[in-house]
Every structure is written in C-alpha cells, then in structure tokens.
Structure 1
Amino acid sequence: MPISRIKSLRLSYPYYLTILLCIMFIYSSILSYYILTNDQSKCSNEKIPLISKKLLSTKRKLAVLVPYRERFEELLEFVPYMHRFLNRQMLSFDIIVLNQIDRYRFNRASLLNAGFTEIKSNYDYIAMHDVDLLPLNPNLSYEYPVQPVHIAAPSLHPRYHYEKFIGGILLINNKHFELVNGLSNRYWGWGLEDDEFYVRLKDARLNVTRPANISTGINDTFKHIHGKERKRDTVKCFNQREVTRRRDRQTGLRDVEYTVIDRRKLEIDGAPLLVINIKLKCNETATPWCNCTKKNDPSYS
C-alpha cells in the first residue's frame, strides 16, 4: 500500500470516530428528553389539575359595576387605576361599565339592576362603584363579603358623612342583592337611591359592615375626581320629591325594564373593561320625572 494512502487512513480515522461519538450523543440526548417529558406529562395529568381545581374553587369572582354616562375623562383615570389596585389584592375581577344611552334622566339604581341581571351567572359578588371615587388606602379590601361591606364609609368619604350613607362603593354578594330585590327603579336624576337601598338592607336584617383599622381619614382615604364643572341633575318635578322620600316596595331587580344595545370589550392603557350599552325604559305614568323638563312640568324646581 502506498505511504500516502496509509497517511490518509490515519488522518480520517479520528474524523469518523468524532462523527460517531456526536451521533451517539445526539441519540442519547433525544432519548433522555423523551423520557423526561413523558414523566412530566404524567405528573401534570395526575397531580397539578387537582391542586388547580382546589384553588379555583375557593376563588370568588368580582364584577365591578360602574353606572355611567358621559364621564369619559373620569373613566380614563378610573379603569387603569382600579386594575392596578385590585390586582395587588390578587382578586379575580372584571370592570363592567353600564353606559346609559337612552333619552331619559340618569338612573344609577336601574343601571345596577340591569347590569346585575346581565352578569350574575358569571360572578359571585358585585361592587356598586362610582366612577369618580378611587380608593387610596391599600388596606381597603374588596374581598368577598359575607355581609354587605360599605367601603366608602362616612368616616372615610371625602364628602358624605351621615351615618346611613352607603353610596360610593358597596360590596354585596349575589344572594343578598337578590334577597332585597336590588334597588328601586324610581330614582331618575341624582341622589337618594342609595338611602332607599340602606332601608332595604335593614329590612332584610343584613348587617352593613365598614372597613376597620384604617389609619387614613376623610382627606387621604379616597380620591374624588368629580370635576367642579360637572353639574348634578338635582331637578325635582311632578311628585318626585314626595315619592322618592318613601320606601319603595313595588319596584326593583325583578321588574327593571331595559334593552341591551351591544357589548364592547375595550382597553384603557392596557387595562381591559366591558362596556354594556343600555337603554332603560320608563313608565311615564308611574314616574313621569324620568323626563323632567319645563315643557312637561312648568312647576319643576
């Protein structure tokens, strides 16, 4: 055999040996990966779902219901802020804006009744939440309420300090909201619907609780973002003043009349929300003040 041929074989032997070792390494790596992933898959099927189901079963879901009309600047601030605030409490929640788009006066109570009717099957409790009130103190808990929890307590709210006040932010579970038949549908315009709701809760012997051990006060527990230029609809006409001072035992959650025009999923600064566009219906014989103008009632005040 020529010397050049012998040298060629000597040089190629390490080369082929290297290739063979590489092939064996790759094969063993693939075999190891298959074994590991196969074991991991079995572990996932047998153990992890049991833990996950147990955790999910204890997680109550919150619907933050926001009665709304033409407060876009406040909504821009509210949605991202509340997402951050509630995420820090590790809650399962959605923000749902109840947008009134009919020709009648604003009716916060009926919007809450309509909103609850639409979402109740997917949630365990609701927060009746004004769009212009932001909680500043992280110790204000939005956890599931065994009894109704008035977060915006009179001792903490920047504006309203009377004992029976339960407006602003109130947590209530589905069972109790249905027990009291929601809120009265007679309150068109601003005010008093939450006072009437307070009486409903008391009549049902529900104990309204409020935050405890809160170190902040009326100046630094909430941020009230209601603009000074925004006027409240406080007009009274027909016999509205007389009727809305009394407990309503006829109307509520079970007879609220409305039409959902559409639902829209939106985002504000990356924070998701659902907007439900709602047209309320008014019985103008029973509550003619849903359309309160001088043309309808020249004596309105």
Structure 2
Amino acid sequence: MHVILVTHSCVYTVSFYHLDHDYNSSMKQLDITSQAKSKRSDKSWYILSAGLIISVTVIFILDLQFFASTNFIRNTLNGKMLEVLSAADNFTNKFIDTMKHKLIIIDSDIPDSGSEQHVSDHFSNSNHGNCTWPPLNLQGRTPLNRTDIAIEKLDQKYTFMADGHYKPKNCTAYQKIAIVVPYRDRQLQLRIFLNNVIPRIHRQQLEFGIYIVEQTAGSLFNRGMLSNIGFVQAMKDMAYDCVVIHDLDILPEDDRNFYICGDNPIHMATKVEKFKYRVPYHSFAGGISTFSKKQYEDINGFPNQFFGWGGEDDELFARIKRSNYKMTRPFDAHGHCGSVQHSGQRTGNDRMKMLQISRKIWKQDGLTDLEYNLVEKRRKQLYVWVYADINMAKVREKLKKLNSPSRK
C-alpha cells in the first residue's frame, strides 16, 4: 500500500515538473527573454519541492492510521482468543469437577474386594497402564443412526468385538461393564441398538459385554425377571464391576453419558425423546440404569412378579430407597436419549396390586428366589444371547406363599 502511494506521489510531482519543462520549451520557441526563463525555472523547482513535501506528509499520516488499525485488530484478536481459551478451560475444569465429585471407580486390580475408590484417585493418566480418564476421543452429542444394517454387516463393522465382549488392547479399563437387555421379538430394534450403543461405549474405553436376554413365547413379558436372569448369567462369565439394565428402544445420543457405576445407582436416561427430552416424573428409573454388583444384590434386583408392561421400574426405585441408596443423575446435562419406535407390550393388569404387595415381600422376591429354565446361551460376535423360559404360573404360586397370612 505504501509503495503505491509513493509511486502516485512521485508521478504527480514529476508530472508537475514535466508540465513546467514543456512550458519552458515553448517559451524558448517564442524567444522569451533570459530573465523570464530564469524566473520560470525557479518556479518549477518550487513546485517539485512542494510535491515531494506533500507526498511525504500524506505517507506519514497514512502510516500512522495503518499502524493504529493493525494494533486495534491485533488487540481485538488477542482478546477473542483469550475468551475462547478461557471458555475451553472453564468447560474442562467443570467436566473434571463433575467426574471427581459424583463418581467413584471400583478398583479392578483387587478382585472381589468390594472396595471402592473415588474417581479423583484415578483422574489422570496412570503409571500402571490404565486407560486415560476422561477418554480423549469423545464426540459429544450426535444423532442416532436409525439405518437398518444387516447383522452380518455389523459384524464386519465392529471387528473389535468377539463373543459379545470387548476389552481395550493397550490399557486397562477402569470398570468392566455388563449391559443387560431384556428382549423379545424386536430384530430391527436390536440391530439399531447394536449400531448405536457399541461405538459410543467403545469410545469410552470401557471393557464391556452385551447380554441380550430373550424370553420364550407363552407368558407375558417380564422385564424385571429377564434383568435378573441377565445379571446372574453375566456374573457367571466374569467378575463385572457394573451392570447396566438397558431398554432396547432408548439409546444414548451423547457419549459423555457414561456407562459406569458410582457410589449410588445411576439413572442415565434423563432426557428421553419420547418424553420431550425430560424426565416424566421424579421417581422415574426406566430406560437405562447402572448398578455396581453390590448395589444390585443389596436391593435384591428387580421384582419377579411384574408380568406385562409397567410397574417394575417404580418398584425398583422404591427398593433403592429402602436399601439406603439414592438414584443419582450425575450426567443429566448429557442424558439425551433417542427413542426407537416399536409395537407396545401388553400392560400388566395387576401392576398396581403388585406394587402394594412388593412393599412387604421385596426381600424375598428378586435375586433371592429367581427360578427359570435356561434354554440356550450362545456367544455371538456382538452379543451373548441368553434364551430363557419363565413359568408364570410357578412364579405366581410363589407369590401366594410369600403373601400368605401366615407370613404376615
């Protein structure tokens, strides 16, 4: 910019000079006297000097303005950059504080000890080869992938899975997670479930196994009892630190909603799409809930008596309170869950009656009296298929004994 201004100024100055020179030549042709020519020559030098002075002055003024402008831009950009860096630091610190205060990590190096440690003890890269926590490759909230992909294609897509299990290769996961999914006749929803849950929990660098617990035909669907069966079958496979009871049709959208256990049971499905991304009522415990092994045993698991849709989640919430735990929602800000459409299950006709009875028999109805027939247990690439038969008549016969007047 300066070069252009200097060039223009010089051109103007030289132009003045040449105009005057041409004038002098003309005067020669008219035979002007030497005295007049001398006066005209002096005048041309005055014009040349004035032009140079004006050029230098203009350049000096413009240079001052340019310097002021660049300083203003530099200061503005620096200020904006500081704001961005400050916001990033605040976000990181807030995230770390949330994890430190609201979660614990069960020490996987001490098998069956039952001891628990606060997450702040592990909240960094460990010298013992533990996976980085929090994970570094999270993507945040992303829409569900609702594309129906054949199970064979999913096998090819998630080759890191084997026998329904995944374990990080280069580090030790902080927790081993068993995901238990009560299931019946929803093949499309199962494929969408696998294609959304597997990549999100994989990015969390957790060791995990997926258990699809299917009920045979004949009796009304019993979600609570299938959850208990899945818990028992998973713990037979390995000493999982944490069990996640997971509906097939409610799927996390955000990988910052961690599949992990804390010092109290955790409710993950806090903003569900079909409930307009909010909790329908305070004691809602449905969708996705996590329990440490000890917590699930302390509450005696789910009730076995709820056949048909509804009621078992409300009893689960009551069992948590009766066992002196709290249902916590530490990842509420990231608890967005999409809903996958499906045909509804038949509602249990006696669920309100069962809620009243469960208050009295909850310590005897659950894991402690679980009976079922294991038809088949097959390890597929992406999940372990547990096929179980539940005899509703036999379960209800137990109820009569538990609720008989002689036991009151």
Does residue 273 (structure 1) correspond to residue 383 (structure 2)? The answer is yes
Does residue 105 (structure 1) correspond to residue 237 (structure 2)? The answer is no
The answer to whether the Cα contact below 8 Å between 2:258 and 2:331 also exists between their aligned partners in 1 is no
Task: Give distance in 2, aligned partners of 1:100 and 1:222.
Answer: 25
Task: Give distance in 2, aligned partners of 1:171 and 1:274.
Answer: 19
- Root mean square deviation of aligned Cα: 2.5
State the shift of 1:287 in Å.
5.7
Moved more, 52-61 or 191-200: 52-61
> Which is strand-richer, 1 or 2?
1
The answer to whether the Cα contact below 8 Å between 1:99 and 1:276 also exists between their aligned partners in 2 is yes
Does residue 177 (structure 1) correspond to residue 296 (structure 2)? The answer is yes
State the shift of 1:212 in Å.
3.8
- 1:215/1:262 Cα in 2 relative to 1: closer, same or farther (>3 Å)? closer
Specify which of 209, 230, 235 is matched with residue 94 of structure 1: 209
Q: How does 1:60-139 map to 2 (within 5 A)?
A: 60-121=175-236, 122=238, 123-139=240-256
Task: Give distance in 2, aligned partners of 1:107 and 1:208.
Answer: 22
State the shift of 1:142 in Å.
1.2
Unaligned runs of 5+ in 2: 1-126, 132-169, 401-408
State the shift of 1:231 in Å.
2.6
Task: Give distance in 2, aligned partners of 1:68 and 1:140.
Answer: 23
Specify which of 366, 372, 387 is matched with residue 252 of structure 1: 366
Aligned to 1:4: none
State the shift of 1:56 in Å.
6.8
The answer to whether the Cα contact below 8 Å between 1:101 and 1:279 also exists between their aligned partners in 2 is yes
Higher-Rg structure is 2
State the shift of 1:241 in Å.
3.7
- 1:103/1:156 Cα in 2 relative to 1: closer, same or farther (>3 Å)? closer
Classify the secondary structure of the residue corresponding to 1:82.
helix
Task: Give distance in 1, aligned partners of 2:326 and 2:354.
Answer: 26
Does residue 140 (structure 1) correspond to residue 250 (structure 2)? The answer is no
Aligned to 1:233: 346
- 1:214/1:104 Cα in 2 relative to 1: closer, same or farther (>3 Å)? same
The answer to whether the Cα contact below 8 Å between 2:268 and 2:332 also exists between their aligned partners in 1 is no
Q: Deviations over 1:34-63 (max 9, x none)?
A: xxxxxxxxxxxxxxxx94599977632100
Q: Deviations over 1:15-47 (max 9, x none)?
A: xxxxxxxxxxxxxxxxxxxxxxxxxxxxxxxxx
The answer to whether the Cα contact below 8 Å between 2:268 and 2:331 also exists between their aligned partners in 1 is no
Does residue 158 (structure 1) correspond to residue 274 (structure 2)? The answer is yes
Task: Give distance in 1, aligned partners of 2:331 and 2:386.
Answer: 34
Task: Give distance in 2, aligned partners of 1:235 and 1:144.
Answer: 30
The answer to whether the Cα contact below 8 Å between 1:74 and 1:132 also exists between their aligned partners in 2 is yes
Task: Give distance in 2, aligned partners of 1:182 and 1:65.
Answer: 13
What is the identity percentage for the equivalent residue pairs of Structure 1 and Structure 2?
28
The answer to whether the Cα contact below 8 Å between 2:320 and 2:326 also exists between their aligned partners in 1 is yes
Does residue 188 (structure 1) correspond to residue 307 (structure 2)? The answer is yes
Task: Give distance in 2, aligned partners of 1:87 and 1:58.
Answer: 11
What is the letter of the counterpart of residue 204 of structure 1? S
Q: How does 1:1-40 map to 2 (within 5 A)?
A: none
State the shift of 1:134 in Å.
1.0
State the shift of 1:214 in Å.
1.4
State the shift of 1:264 in Å.
1.6
State the shift of 1:145 in Å.
2.3
TM-score, normalising length: structure 2: 0.51
State the shift of 1:169 in Å.
0.1
- Higher RCO (CA < 8 A, seq sep 6+): 1
Report how many residues are paired.
Answer: 226
The answer to whether the Cα contact below 8 Å between 2:182 and 2:214 also exists between their aligned partners in 1 is yes
- 1:186/1:131 Cα in 2 relative to 1: closer, same or farther (>3 Å)? same
Task: Give distance in 2, aligned partners of 1:223 and 1:119.
Answer: 26
- 1:106/1:163 Cα in 2 relative to 1: closer, same or farther (>3 Å)? same
- 1:181/1:73 Cα in 2 relative to 1: closer, same or farther (>3 Å)? same
Task: Give distance in 1, aligned partners of 2:347 and 2:340.
Answer: 19
State the shift of 1:146 in Å.
2.4
Specify which of 279, 285, 288 is matched with residue 397 of structure 2: 285
Task: Give distance in 2, aligned partners of 1:183 and 1:276.
Answer: 18
Task: Give distance in 1, aligned partners of 2:397 and 2:274.
Answer: 38
Q: Deviations over 1:200-227 (max 9, x none)?
A: 00011112110346167xxxx2110022
What is the letter of the counterpart of residue 140 of structure 1? N
